[in-house]
A and B are shown apart, each in its own frame.
Chain A
Amino acid sequence: MWVLAQAIALLFWSSVAVWASETTSASRHGTNIFAPASTPAKSITNLSVFVLVTTGIIFVVVFALIFYSVFKFRARAKDAGREPAQVYGSTQIELAWTIIPILIVVVLFLATARVIHAIQDAPEPAGAVDVTVIGHQYWWEFRYPKLGIVTANELHIPVSDPGHPTPTFLQLLSADTDHSFWVPELAGKTDLIPNHPNRMWMDPQRTGVFLGQCAQYCGIQHAKMLLRVSVDGPEDFAAWVRAQQKPAVEDAGAIAGRRVFEGNACMNCHRVDGTSADGHFGPDLTHLMSRATIAAGAAENTHDNLRLWIQNPSAIKPGSLMPAMKLSDADLDAVVSYMETLN
């Protein structure tokens, strides 16, 4: 009877799984590992399906054996007081159930090793985009060494046309603790470890925003170290690069806010290109308004959120390393208006 209950439970949960994956794939770009949009993620999905099917078959066979033996060999009233035949083992059967698993393991290993090699040992083609990703408690720094761009939390990369591939190669570093870069629909995750540079790559084949987040526990706000990858068409990407390469906009109307920014500790941690603010502990703010979110994706980049964030970062992200500067309301408004000119 209990086995029947198990089977029903199994059916139920697998339907839950299907329902869940349907609801997420219907929304924008979720983070389903079975909805890959780039070569490494696709080859992982193909391997995964192969492994799932193989293990699924093993499950069905062994489950049937357990089910059958439990059901068939249950004690019955007519057997009372009698012991069954005492069987101690059988060399032939033992050999059979040793050799078959060995063969399965060999096949699974060969299939896996092929994918490991294809992903990890892929050479970097000439047209590739290089990005250095630096993990910080609790945000992402993105530097494009060949393009001279520094930005944070929202990675922009070009879409890759299979006929004319422009993959992006990431060099992964950490400024403090361990982090892990995970955007499930683009690639498997790779850790960012201090003193241990890592590498990964992706070549997304459709445009859009792909979500992800830090996957390696890195401290109090590990949960709100979110990640967005914007995959742009070739023209959009070129336009984005041109915009990011410019120094910060100088808006005479925001001069009061800029004075507050530069007169307080803000500039010790943040950089605004073209001004005296050249800090490196926090995100580069030169083109802050080009980003859709603040606080590593913890809040939308709106006027109210920006103001709240500067006034009291803990209200959005308790444990964030940005201190509350305790600015007067007037100074706060001035800084927020200054920030809003940085597009």
Chain B
Amino acid sequence: MASDAITVPVGQTEARPWVDELHQWLTTVDHKRLGILYIVSSLLFLAVGGVEALIIRIQLMHSHNNFVSPEVFNQMFTMHGTTMIFFVAMPVLFGFANYLVPLMIGARDMAFPRLNAFSFWLSFLGGLLLYFSFVGGSGLYGAGSAPDVGWWSYAPLGARAFSPGHSSDYWTLALLVSGFGSIGTAINIIATILCLRCPGMKLSRMPLLVWMNLVMAGMVLLAITPLSAAQIMLLIDRYLGGHFFDTQAGGSAVLWMHFFWIFGHPEVYILIIPCFAFMSEIIPVFSRKPIFGYPVMVAATVCIAFVSMSVWAHHMFTIGMNSYANSFFTITTMVVGIPTGIKIFNWIGTMWGGRIQFKTAMLFSIGFLFQFLIAGLTGIMLAASPFDWQLSLSYFVVAHFHYVIVGGILFALFGAFYYWYPKMTGRMLSESLGKWHFWLFLIGFHMTFDVMHIPGILGMPRRIYTYEPGRGWDTLNLIVSIGAFIQAIAILVFLANLIISYFKGVRAGNDPWDAWTLEWSMSSPPPAYNFATVPTVESRRPLWDLKHPEDPDSRYE
């Protein structure tokens, strides 16, 4: 362990002109700055996607509401879904991966720094391209118009016959461009982890965060490529007279569904596995114990990745597959629950016998455990395909996947923000604002997404801009909408915390959480070159060894 932080001499940190500073950020190839750029850009898109969600919720507050037209409503749910998946969730997770992976494996940067910058700018500009559709989309009525075909853009709705103008093209091109960015980042993460580990950092000693991001990157390669292929096929259909998905010329609508979901389902795991990674770092540190069952956690992650590649058609139980196909995708989907359950048990095992510190990061992690449990169990309900014939395409399914994405992924991300913000900025996030953020968000979340299951059970389909009175859906939708606004307030508290703490937060020091992985061995924020001397590690918790020379982990390996 020779990774003493190098303090930058005061003379080098004096303020530069802002143009210089901006130029530095725009041309940077530093993995830490690119990580922060990913995170900040996804926060911008989070705000936009959040406003879209609020518009949806205002419209659905009561039956026969006229807050927006059906055209606008359809654009809102299309843009909300596309934005949140492709321009919030993926970039923010790539941002954390970019920032943390090299630091945790003792590397000075990613394997391909310029590819890294290229990938970021591709994804970011993909997002801008998507939003340019609002002014340049030349939609149905000659005005600018955003895509309105849903975030799956099911064939043949995305064909030119049903989606004239260019709004769908913005959707296609934005996903294609940002998809190339994702593929670049995935290659970069894999190469970095396989080639740039510091001496002693065997695969079996890598922090779980690194392991899980390795698996995630592998899944990106397998999942994004079919999506990109399908987007190219769709462009060929739309502009070069192809008939892949053109049902009127013998093409297949079902083929598009297969292409989309063979991306779409692994995508869920691409998003959740990095969140498992956050949990596997945060829960041990605040329980003051090492992760329970490290090898099993790695095996379960790889197992989830494999099995999740063969579950995609559970999104298609209603399309009339035969009983054998339905049975096959039922069993594969249920099987994913096993390694996922193992993970939950291992996190509980980590907390068991620990001394749990209820810092905000840990509160969000416990919230994650609880909500991810429920999301997994409603997932089992949806996996039972006959049950799915009722629940699919209804608000139950909307509630289920928001439970995964908000209750799971977003809670884990908030935990990650509170945990690593000190490392990234050198300042602590305010714990008191953090607790406000946590409790408000928890209440809003449960108001919205617990209640949202019920209209689905009562027959309310998703993606409807209005509904008839007297169906028993009015009150429920009102509660859901109020919850959405409480969540919005909590997000504002969070953004305020990010900004206020940046200027006024308590100085973090190198290691505010008394943690065990390499990133906490250097200054906060770390210098551009990360490690003055490349460290050597002897166990999974190098800083534990350093702090407890009398009882190092390396003794038990």
Contact = CB atoms under 8 A, between A and B. Distances in A.
A30 B472 contact: yes
A51 B384 contact: yes
A264 interface: no
Contact of A87 (B341, B353, B387): B353
Given A48-B387, A180-B318, A219 B459 contact: no
Given A44-B386, A79-B355, A93 B349 contact: yes
Given A48-B381, A178-B154, A191-B318, A318 B69 contact: yes
Given A102-B338, A222-B463, A190 B389 contact: yes
Most A CB atoms within 10 A — which of B252, B322, B355?
B355
A325 interface: no
A47 B377 CA distance: 15
Interface residues of B, number: 108
Interface in A74-94: 74-76, 79, 82-90, 93-94
Nearest to A74: B356
A336 interface: no
B436 interface: no
A84 B334 CA distance: 36
A215 interface: yes
Contact of B252 (A20, A43, A52, A195): A195
B292 A88 contact: yes
B81 to A, nearest CB: 11
A55 B381 contact: yes
B289 interface: yes
A66 B472 contact: no
Nearest to B388: A188
Contacts of B326: 116, 120
Contacts of A177: 154, 156-157, 162
Nearest to A137: B162
B442 A182 contact: no
A113 B370 contact: no
Contacts of B157: 177-178, 217-219
Nearest to A88: B290
B369 interface: yes
A196 B320 contact: yes
Interface string A192-206: 011110110000000
B386 A188 contact: yes
Given A27-B472, A184-B390, A214-B461, A69 B351 contact: yes
Interface in A145-194: 172, 176-178, 180, 182, 184, 187-191, 193-194
A124 to B, nearest CB: 15
Given A88-B292, A116-B327, A193 B319 contact: yes
A87 B291 CA distance: 8
Most B CB atoms within 10 A — which of A83, A116, A119, A187?
A116
Contact of B247 (A76, A102, A195): A195
B468 interface: yes
Report the interface size class on chain A: 35 or more
B253 A89 contact: no
Interface stretch (A104-112, A127-135, A246-254, A278-286): A104-112
Interface of B: 69-71, 74, 148, 150, 154-157, 162, 247-248, 250-254, 287-290, 292-296, 318-320, 322-323, 326-327, 330-331, 334-335, 337-338, 341-342, 344-346, 348-349, 351-358, 363, 366-367, 369-370, 373-374, 377-378, 380-381, 383-394, 439, 442-443, 446, 450-451, 453-454, 457-468, 470-472, 475-476, 479, 548, 551, 553, 556
Q: Please give me the 7 A-B residue pairs with the lowest Cβ-Cβ distance, nearest first.
A: A188-B389, A31-B459, A198-B320, A223-B464, A24-B472, A194-B247, A89-B293
6 contacts: A33-B458, A73-B351, A76-B355, A89-B293, A109-B330, A172-B320
Interface of A: 2-3, 5-6, 9-10, 13, 16-17, 20-21, 23-24, 27, 30-34, 41, 43-44, 47-48, 51-52, 55, 58-59, 62-63, 65-66, 69-70, 73-76, 79, 82-90, 93-94, 97-98, 101-102, 105, 108-109, 111-113, 115-117, 119-121, 137, 172, 176-178, 180, 182, 184, 187-191, 193-196, 198-199, 211-224, 226, 318-319
